[in-house]
Amino acid sequence: MKNKVVDPYFRWLYHKVDADKQEFSYKKLLEILHKKEFYWTVNNDDNRCEDGKELRLRFKEEAREETIDYLNKPCSVLEVLVALMFRFDELMFEPETEEEEKRRPAKWFWEMLDNVYLTKYTDEVYNKHDYRIDIDEILNSILGRMYGRDGVGGLFPLENPKKNQRKVELWYQMNAYIMEKCYTSEC
């Protein structure tokens, strides 16, 4: 691993998104995502928060952890993105092999980060300048729904939206994004 990750739960999330298998290191970006509390402005997006919190129980079971200090803490943006990654993957494909099942979900995580222009914040770039303010602005734009009505600047941009994506819950944004990808033969 390029940068050692100490916290067991964060390390587990880090591995779920195959962060150590990326061309560049994103440890600092993922730490920021993990420290940023997820909040919602559209009804039912609290369900994505609950999905994120469910990851803690999954970790507890997989890692055989007795307790998780932050089990009752607010859900982080990273947790929501990882939970969305798994939901996205469930809707897209049935895995053919066990190895494919383990590796493919991370693809969707990085696609979401790319959609919101966060993949440019590698550790190498971040070390040259502290981009925490820029990253926080992007996250606040996503959480506060301050992106285009077509979803551009959000997690799931669409070419032909049927509704203003700023008012659509993330679950339906994701489904519309998947449908559009499939109709353009990218799935």
Span 57-84, pLDDT tens digits = 899 888 887 666 667 789 999 999 999 9
pLDDT in tens, 8-40: 899 999 999 999 899 999 999 999 999 999 999
Residue 2 forms part of a structural domain? no
pLDDT in tens, 104-132: 789 999 999 999 999 999 999 988 888 99
> Which residues, 6+ apart, have CB-to-CB distance to 45 below 8 Å?
169, 170, 171
φ, ψ for residue 76, nearest 5 deg: -95, 160
Residue 22 forms part of a structural domain? yes
Nearest to 109 by CA among 40, 5, 26, 8: 26
Residue 119 forms part of a structural domain? yes
Range of the domain at 93: 8-183
User: Could you tell me the pLDDT band of residue 150, with boundaries at 50, 70 and 90?
Assistant: very high
pLDDT in tens, 34-46: 999 999 999 999 9
Residue 3 forms part of a structural domain? no
Are 178 and 88 within 8 A, CB to CB?
A: yes
Residue 147 forms part of a structural domain? yes
Number of compact structural domains in the chain? 1
φ, ψ for residue 164, nearest 5 deg: -70, 110
Cα distance between residue 169 and residue 160, in whole Å = 17
Residue 126 forms part of a structural domain? yes
Q: The whole model's pTM is what?
A: 0.88
> Which residues, 6+ apart, have CB-to-CB distance to 91 below 8 Å?
174, 175, 178
Residue 13 forms part of a structural domain? yes
Residue 1 forms part of a structural domain? no
